[in-house]
A and B are shown apart, each in its own frame.
Chain A
Amino acid sequence: MQARSSYPSVAPGAAAPARPRGRLSRMIENDATFKWLLLVPALLFMLALVVYPTVFAVVTSFQKYILPRPASFVGLDNWRWVLNDVSFWSAFATTLKFVVIAVVIEIVLGTLIALFLNREFRGQTFIRGLCILPLVAAPFATSLAWRHLYNSDYGVINYLFQLVGLPRVEFLADSSIALFSVIAIDVWQWTPLVIFVVFAALRGLPKEPFEAAKIDGASAWFTFRRLTLPMIKPVLLIVAMLRMVEAFRVYDILYGTTRGGPGTSTETINWLIFREGFQYFDLGRATAMSVLVLLIVLVLTNLLFQQLIKAIRES
């Protein structure tokens, strides 16, 4: 049965009538404009959720803006207050300590575990699956669980300590170790991220250089130092950058454990900003602190980024 078309037929050999082309069609056909067209949704998204809030924060940092009262321009007052505030610099030092220790441990530990997982052994799929568990847990719920694991009276960790004859430790109540206890939670939660990123990088490495090194009789340490490490260095720098930015924002695990204490020994910048912004609703001061932290993080990220470019060029 012959199908009948409802469209007007064109006689064979006759040229199709030229249709007027719209502006959009022309833009789509032009490579120069089409690439920008594709970027429009992302740019709008960035404009609304990144550029506008950042500009708003910078402007607000020069205002006295305590909700619900209206904002008024105060020049550099908030900045002066932040720079002279002892609590800010104390919290900044704590944050820096947290970031450096946590990120270094996570990178080193994560790389070592990834190297281990890169071998063939029985149960490797199961072990790799286990490693992902801390990543899927909500940080706040995790911190509550850790709070009780750390408990000096009924926590499992102290119980195990006592089994092997170690003294009881006040993980969260002793200000000299509370920060390290919180860092341990962060390490537990985020080392798996490093493991998986580095593991993926290791799997993607070419085999030839390693085979050549083996034939030449290179030791495992030499191979790691001179081959593996330089080849995965860009990945390590990327993951370090990601973790650094994330660690600067640490908040939830403090909320569930120390809440900044004992005293102010675990009070980080984000905790301070939260208090100023969402307890005192002093948006001027809170944004001045946020912008200052943003600038510091930008500088640190830039340093890592330069290293990353260098590493990519070298590799």
Chain B
Amino acid sequence: MTGTFRRGFTRRDAWRTSAAYATGLSAVATFGLPAFAQSGDADKIVAERVAANPDKFSLAQIPEVSNKDKITVVVESGFWSDYLKTAMIPKFTEKTGVEVEVVGMSTNVMYAKQQVELLGDTGGYDVLSMEAAYVPEWAANGFVKPLFELATEYDSAGVDGMAEYLKPFYAGLMTMMTYEKQPYSIPYNNYTQGLHYRADLLEHPDERRAFAEKFGYPLDVPMTFAQLIDVAAFFTRKAGEQAGGKPLEKDLFGVALMAGRNEQINDEFSAIIWGMGGDWFRTIYDVKGALEGFEVTIPDRISVTAAQTYMELLKSAPPAAMSWDFPEAANAMAEGQVAMVPFMYNNLWPVTSSVETKFPGTHAKVATVPGGRPYTGAYGIGVAHNANNPEGAYWFVKYLTSYEGQMAYALGGGNPCRRDVVLDPFFQTPERRLTNGAYAQNDADTMAWTYDVAKKGHFTSTAMGKIYSELAITCAKIANKELEIEPAYTELAAKIVDIQGRSGNGKILEG
């Protein structure tokens, strides 16, 4: 095959891709995910849905805002910030007279950039975007205003009205946004994980027969980690071999993993540890429900087995996975390179499912991750303690997370945090499957976390923003075989104790 890359990539593709990246498009490809785009008719659909749900809070219910000062808001860059600028913000400004400046940021720099402004007390941002792991930290440091306090001050509906407003949001996600019984932020972007897989492979009769012959049990969507290892190994094949009844033009791998030196490797390890019934460190409460401290549980047998499981899975992942983050892992499925992405964030479903449009005959599906305890979390927005216009900021937060805001977010492919939007019949149709097809599974998995979020140090420690990085470093060291599993965990345990002791909200209790 002249001019064809051995793995199905043409010469023109290679030059074109590299040239495009070299001329600066790399930033877009790295931080913006091309599968996300706001529907052309989003405005019309949103207006129809809002009209059909008159009981929901909407723009019309925002009262006269006395403070007209401009507000500056931080939002994740990409389709969402674009849509806000062109659609939602003009309406908000028209209604309230408050101008809004949008500062788009990729999620991987949000923490550091906002933290610097907050520590410097610059008042640079009125509305903050925050990931679940640093809500407790910012709340404890007084960087974010409690929502009930804002509601009391600016909303005639008061605390009860705000409590009622928050009801449609997933309870587990709201627990993450709450510190010492006060909600500080409203979630809008749910990134609970799912097992994204190629149903055309896993459900193919020939594959099922071959798998049963080889492993002695039927091929199905893996529910345990042992099954996941087998299925991953089974679908790891060389170019030229058959898969799903067709010859492979390029190598196929069982799984895509995010084993690069990024925080997402921790999310994969966490899903395995939690799925096996273990923990990194867990929250201990006294009989009255007050936080007593944290218990570090690593290195224990479960966490060691979890790491061994991950190492086994790496054998069925593309070698490049050692440098991958979530965009690369999601794209691996979109490009037909892998059979499964076992720990993929469901808000990336529009990317993974795009395999269907790129390779006709393929079929993407989503299931719960093996072990049933996917990594979960959300990005939320709240009002900065030093906001120039807290009144305008409060109403903007409420508007952005309203039924209308979350509907618009969902139409662009976002993964909303309001159940009334997620379960809206509009999104359950076959036409919406490639954009919103992970909602039903995501709903079940997010709901399953409702009562257990508060038991995890991940969502309760005020030092989690810092501990999270250390968890990822340890996972990366293990994956890279720099350290044996137990010594790596022992080193990590000492770091958790150190960081929690220096920056955290509760003491470390002896296990």
Contact = CB atoms under 8 A, between A and B. Distances in A.
Contact of A68 (B9, B14, B141, B499): B141
A262 B30 contact: no
Interface stretch (B94-102, B320-328, B359-367): B320-328
Given A66-B502, A264-B473, A280-B466, A155 B119 contact: no
Contacts of B119: 67-68, 281
Given A149-B22, A153-B7, A259 B262 contact: yes
Nearest to B15: A156
Interface in B11-49: 11, 13-15, 17-18, 21-24, 26-27, 29-30
Given A145-B22, A279-B466, A280-B499, A265 B5 contact: no
A261 B466 contact: no
Given A141-B27, A145-B26, A178-B323, 15 more contacts: A66-B503, A144-B21, A149-B22, A153-B7, A153-B335, A154-B13, A156-B17, A159-B15, A162-B6, A172-B320, A173-B324, A258-B260, A262-B323, A279-B465, A282-B503
9 contacts: A144-B27, A145-B24, A153-B337, A261-B480, A262-B480, A264-B473, A279-B466, A279-B469, A280-B466
Contacts of A228: none
Contacts, number: 135
A152 B262 contact: no
B373 interface: no
A170 B21 contact: no
B115 A281 contact: yes
A173 B260 CA distance: 8
A151 B320 contact: yes
B418 interface: no
Contact of B322 (A67, A144, A170, A280): A170
A173 B319 contact: yes
B286 interface: no
Contacts of B111: 279
Contact of A154 (B14, B324, B465): B14
A156 B19 CA distance: 9
Contacts of B24: 141, 145
Contact of B26 (A148, A175, A262): A148
B482 A154 contact: no
Contacts of B335: 153
B144 to A, nearest CB: 13
A278 B141 contact: no
A280 B116 CA distance: 11
Interface in B245-265: 259-262
B112 interface: yes
Contacts of A246: none
Interface in A240-271: 258-265, 267
A206 B112 CA distance: 54
A86 B495 CA distance: 12
A282 B15 CA distance: 45
A211 interface: no
A151 B141 CA distance: 42
Contact of A148 (B6, B18, B465, B466): B18
Instruction: Please name the 8 residue pairs, one residue from A and one from B, whose CB atoms are nearest each other, closest first.
Output: A261-B261, A263-B480, A148-B21, A173-B322, A144-B26, A173-B323, A156-B18, A159-B14
Interface of B: 5-7, 9, 11, 13-15, 17-18, 21-24, 26-27, 29-30, 111-112, 115-116, 118-119, 141, 259-262, 318-324, 335, 337, 465-466, 469, 473, 476-477, 479-482, 491, 499, 502-503
Interface in A266-290: 267, 275, 278-282
B11 A159 contact: yes
B477 A263 contact: yes
A155 B18 contact: yes
B477 A156 contact: no
Interface in A135-189: 141, 144-145, 147-149, 151-156, 159, 162, 170, 172-175, 178
Interface in A59-98: 64, 66-68, 86
Contacts of A149: 18, 21-22
A284 to B, nearest CB: 10
A148 B319 CA distance: 15
Contacts of A174: 319, 322
Nearest to A67: B119
A263 B482 contact: yes
Contacts of B260: 173, 258-259, 261-262
Given A141-B24, A263-B261, A279 B112 contact: yes
A153 B329 CA distance: 13
A154 B250 CA distance: 12
B226 to A, nearest CB: 26
A91 B186 CA distance: 39
A175 B24 CA distance: 27
B466 A159 contact: no
Contacts of B26: 141, 144-145, 147-148
